[in-house]
């Protein structure tokens, strides 16, 4: 890989004012000289004509040259900023291919940045998360990860575990020294400190995953209780058809909104009842499928129809595959104001979708039901693999605390916890521990 150049169109498909072709690889100065007939100053934009093999002008724009290692990938990088038409960009890309580059694989520029130690794995993944961010808060969290905040927290944890293992490995390797390094090094207190710090990181990472993935919220209930009206109220627009005719919603209607920066993927479903025709039966079947895969079920009831509450209770009892939030709609028809209640083990919010009363109360309840806490400062983007690695590390640290008096088992659990954390950033090496031991103890004496 390191001996070949790769090239790709770096801007989205379609027409645009500006399009960018990027090339990365070794010794690209000769390629740049063939592409433009002007000298360039590294890391400064140069206005130039982009030339084909016969010297004819393909396009004109700005050329930038980033010599290695001071580039995004750590290799020589050329960027050609021209007009954003698909034909001219394709011609420009083909010219780069003719000059010896090959078409880059998806994510290959960032992969090269990782392999050349410009980014660690967590930072590399945050590049994609920043591009895919669906809310401003998600984008800010991705930037924090890209700038290395998540990686630094993980690195501090790995460093702390390395220092703990230094004492423990020394105790195992040199019992004749008869030094109680565990007590002298306050290993127990340090282990508990590491466990607390890991718990904080897990909490921030769980919130970061919510920002990245969003929450799949299914609106369910009997016909004509206000599910479609609730979708429209939350979305702030008429996304679903609302009528007084039961069974109007036949298929799931999906809308993504943002509440306090958290993406909520709302799904309005067909009302649950005995189907009157084959089409409605299919829609009701899809409702149960949506409920089965939801992160949160918002069960909507009609306060003005108290006889339906028993039916609601029976249906919700059979759908407990996810947390359930009960919305009691139409408070305006029964003469009460919006409120929240947790009586009888039911998490309830009373609102009037028609008038908008209680909608903000409901938004807060939705976020709390999925474990979100207000204030995203310090949250960094996290993926499922990050959380799994953190959970594995936590399990090993819990085992280490339980086996503290068994030094061999303690050492193994700390090693496994360190490896799990190191997998997040891609920095897993036995040499780290070895170097630390050599620097602090006279092993060769």
pTM for the full predicted model: 0.72
Map tokens 């060769």 to a residue: 444
Q: How far apart are CA 351 and CA 328, in angstroms?
A: 6
215 phi/psi in degrees, rounded to 5? -120, 130
Q: How far apart are CA 268 and CA 298, in angstroms?
A: 10
The structural domains of the chain, ordered by start, are: 6-115 (3.30.1360.120), 149-209+382-440 (1.20.120.430), 215-294+296-369 (3.40.50.300)
| 86-118 per-position pLDDT tens digit | 999 999 999 999 999 999 988 889 889 988 999
260 phi/psi in degrees, rounded to 5? 55, 35
- Estimate the share of the chain in helix, then strand, then coil, as percent rounded to the nearest 5: 50, 20, 35
In the sheet with 6-9, reading across from the earlier edge strand, the strands are 46-51, 57-66, 76-84, 16-25, 6-9, 102-103
Structure confidence at residue 2 (pLDDT):
58
Residue 175 DSSP code? G
* DSSP tally for the chain: helices H, then strands E: 16, 13
Residues with Cβ < 8 Å from 87, sequence gap 6 or more? none
20 phi/psi in degrees, rounded to 5? -125, 130
Burial zone of 220 (CB within 10 Å; 0-12 exposed, 13-18 middle, 19+ buried): buried
Six-digit token string for 48: 């130039």
Q: How far apart are CA 32 and CA 41, in angstroms?
A: 12
Six-digit token string for 402: 């339980």
What stretch of H or E contains 329? strand 324-329
| 302-341 per-position pLDDT tens digit | 888 876 666 666 566 555 667 888 898 999 888 888 888 8
Rounded to the nearest angstrom, the gap between the alpha carbon of residue 277 and the centroid of all alpha carbons in its chain is: 42
123: left (phi over 0), alpha (psi -120 to 50) or beta: alpha
Q: How far apart are CA 92 and CA 58, in angstroms?
A: 7
Structure confidence at residue 255 (pLDDT):
86
Q: How far apart are CA 225 and CA 186, in angstroms?
A: 61
Please answer whether residues 35 and 46 qualify as being in contact, where contact means their C-beta atoms are separated by less than 8 angstroms. no
3-state secondary structure of 34: helix
Residue 104 DSSP code? P
Apex 257 CA angle, 254 and 263, nearest 5: 105
3-state secondary structure of 35: helix
| CA-wise closest residue to 381 among 64, 39, 143 | 143
Six-digit token string for 200: 């904080």
3-state secondary structure of 15: coil
Map tokens 């979305």 to a residue: 235
State the helix-helix crossing angle for 136-146 and 187-213, rounded to 10 degrees: 140
3-state secondary structure of 371: coil
Query: Do the strands 6-9 and 102-103 form a parallel or antiparallel pair, or are they unpaired?
Result: parallel
What stretch of H or E contains 92? helix 86-98
DSSP structure string for 390-421:
HHHHHHHHHHHHHTTT-HHHHHHHHHHHHHHH
Structure confidence at residue 90 (pLDDT):
95
Q: How far apart are CA 24 and CA 79, in angstroms?
A: 9
| CA-wise closest residue to 393 among 205, 209, 215, 214 | 205
Question: What residues are paired with 64 via a beta bridge?
Answer: 79
Six-digit token string for 82: 């021209």
For CA atoms 56, 58, 63, 65, the dihedral sign is negative
Structure confidence at residue 57 (pLDDT):
96
3-state secondary structure of 133: coil
Q: What residues of the chain score a pLDDT lower than 70?
A: 1-2, 172-185, 237-252, 273-277, 280, 307-321, 344-345, 373-378, 405, 428-445
Structure confidence at residue 5 (pLDDT):
95
């Amino acid at each position: 890989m390191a001996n070949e150049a790769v090239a790709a169109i770096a801007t989205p498909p379609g027409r645009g004012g500006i399009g960018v072709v990027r090339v990365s690889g070794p010794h690209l100065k000769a390629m740049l000289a063939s592409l433009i007939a002007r000298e360039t100053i590294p890391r400064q934009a140069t206005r130039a004509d982009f030339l084909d093999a016969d010297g004819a002008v393909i396009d004109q724009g700005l050329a930038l040259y980033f010599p290695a290692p001071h580039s995004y990938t750590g290799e020589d990088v050329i960027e050609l900023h021209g007009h954003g038409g698909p034909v001219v960009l394709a011609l420009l890309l083909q010219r780069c291919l003719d000059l010896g580059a090959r078409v880059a694989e998806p994510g290959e520029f960032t992969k090269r940045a990782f392999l050349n130690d410009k980014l660690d794995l967590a930072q590399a993944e945050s590049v994609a998360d920043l591009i895919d961010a669906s809310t401003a808060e998600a984008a800010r969290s991705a930037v924090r990860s890209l700038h290395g905040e998540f990686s630094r927290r993980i690195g501090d944890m790995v460093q702390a575990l390395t220092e703990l293992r230094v004492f423990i490995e020394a105790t195992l390797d040199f019992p004749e020294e008869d030094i109680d390094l565990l007590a002298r090094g306050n290993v127990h207190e340090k282990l508990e400190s590491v466990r607390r710090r890991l718990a904080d990181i897990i909490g921030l990472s769980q919130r970061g995953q919510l920002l990245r993935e969003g929450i799949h919220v299914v609106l369910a209930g009997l016909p004509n209780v206000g599910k479609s009206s609730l979708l429209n109220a939350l979305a702030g627009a008429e996304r679903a058809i609302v009528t007084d005719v039961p069974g109007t919603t036949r298929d799931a209607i999906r809308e993504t909104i943002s509440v306090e920066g958290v993406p909520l993927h709302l799904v309005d479903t067909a009302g649950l009842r005995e189907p009157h025709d084959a089409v409605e039966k299919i829609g009701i079947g899809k409702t149960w499928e949506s409920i089965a895969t939801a992160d949160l079920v918002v069960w909507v009831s009609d306060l003005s129809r108290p006889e339906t509450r028993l039916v609601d209770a029976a249906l919700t009892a059979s759908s407990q595959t996810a947390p359930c939030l009960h919305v009691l709609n139409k408070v305006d028809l029964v003469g009460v104001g919006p409120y929240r209640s947790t009586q009888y083990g039911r998490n309830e919010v009373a609102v009037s979708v028609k008038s908008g009363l209680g909608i903000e109360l409901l938004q807060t309840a939705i976020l709390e039901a999925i474990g979100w806490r207000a204030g995203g400062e310090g949250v960094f983007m996290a993926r499922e693999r990050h959380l799994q690695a953190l959970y594995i590390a936590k399990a090993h640290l819990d085992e280490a605390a339980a086996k503290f008096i068994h030094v061999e088992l303690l050492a193994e659990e700390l090693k496994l916890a360190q490896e799990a954390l190191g997998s997040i950033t891609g920095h897993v090496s036995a040499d780290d521990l070895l170097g630390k031991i050599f620097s602090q103890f006279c092993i060769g004496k």
